[in-house]
Amino acid sequence: MRPSHPLALGSVTPSAKLVRLAPFLALLALPLGCNTGSNADPAPGDPGATAPATSVTDPTSGALASPAPSDTATISFAGEEAPRVIGASQILIAYKGAQLAPPTVTRSREEARRRAEEILAQLKEGKATLEELARSSSDDSSRAADGAMGNFERGAVPPALADAAFALKVGETSGIVESARGFHVVRRSR
């Protein structure tokens, strides 16, 4: 008699089929985020990675804050599930050597941080809107859309940016968020 393949389901009862398929069905339930390609931060330990450690600045005190968990699992707050997809706008201030920085960017990391702090202060003081500042100051393609990044899942943007954006309530603006791409100021729109 020929041995059957462990996944052969010929004359097996329906409940036994589920038991055999359970490990594979569990894989289908895993959240999948795209964390590769041009939108990803370098992998930890990547010899070509020169990205600084990511950090989030508390918008009220200006102190470095611990970012929210960076896993892709659903997070619950007081019985509410966090959304899988949100919308946000940003201002990105890149520096020479930052990931995906345009070749025209010549400022140092310190100069970029100071510029991001100035922009955040203008927003807080109501001197300009995020959209105006994105149009005039942002160093990425969202500039053309007044800073709008569109709707995205957590894994579609750098981890520090996702942590900050997903921690915000709709309409809230972050403090300064640092990623391998530079310094971001983010406002959640959805």
Please tell me which residue, 143 or 47, carries the higher pLDDT value.
143
DSSP string for 44-112: TT-TT--PPPPEEE-TTT--EEPPPP---S--EETTEEPPSEEEEEEEEE--TTSTT--TT----HHHH
pTM of the model: 0.59
In tens, the pLDDT along 93-136 reads 999 999 999 999 999 999 999 999 999 999 999 999 999 999 99
| CATH T-level topology, domain 54-188 | Chitinase A; domain 3 (3.10.50)
Q: Where are the domains of the chain?
A: 54-188
In tens, the pLDDT along 134-174 reads 999 999 999 999 999 999 999 999 999 999 999 999 999 99
Q: Is the pLDDT of residue 180 over 60?
A: yes
Please tell me which residue, 84 or 66, carries the higher pLDDT value.
84
